[in-house]
Amino acid sequence: MPVVVPGDIQLTVDASYGRPLGDVTIDLSIRRHTFLLDLPIPCIAHVGSCTYESSCSSMLLDTMVAEDWAGIMGDIGSQVETMLETSIPNITTAGCPYPARSINIDHYTLHLPPVPTILSWFAEGDYGARAEVTDKATGDMLLCLHLDLTIKEPCTGFFCG
């Protein structure tokens, strides 16, 4: 099922980490699938194939919201903060490093805003994304996530329905 932008997506997460979580590096790689080859999506205004260095993951969200990366990430970051605050007890007051815990998020709705004009030239299509979260202190990979998805614009006009 394609992701419609703007539109809503449902997130469900059932995960745990068995040790305190502190300074991390997040490497995000996004490629657009075309009929000939996969094209890497560059990092533009902190959106795309970017590396995020963070002394604490909540600081990354705070920066995302404050700077409103690419004109869309402020709203998305605020929604993610709300999701974490309502799903994980004491997440904002626990401080960094975060203690070991389980994370259970069940069908949380995120509202995806329209894609800004500067990014719209590559918005609709098929993508592969890989996210790796690495512990800065040890170099251990804490998370590796691979997603394949299709992004579509909503249908408008007479023939929709």
State the pLDDT confidence band at 161, using cuts at 50, 70 and 90. Answer: low
Which pLDDT does position 94 carry in this prediction? 62
Which pLDDT does position 108 carry in this prediction? 94
pLDDT per residue over 45-92, tens digit each?
888 999 998 767 667 888 888 888 888 899 999 999 899 888 887 776
Q: Between 95 and 28, whose confidence is greater?
A: 28
At residue 148, does pLDDT exceed 60? Answer: yes
pLDDT per residue over 99-144, tens digit each?
888 889 999 999 999 887 766 666 889 999 999 999 998 999 999 9
Radius of gyration from C-alpha coordinates of the chain: 17
Cis before 97 (ω within 30): yes
Neighbours of 72 (CB within 10 A): 19
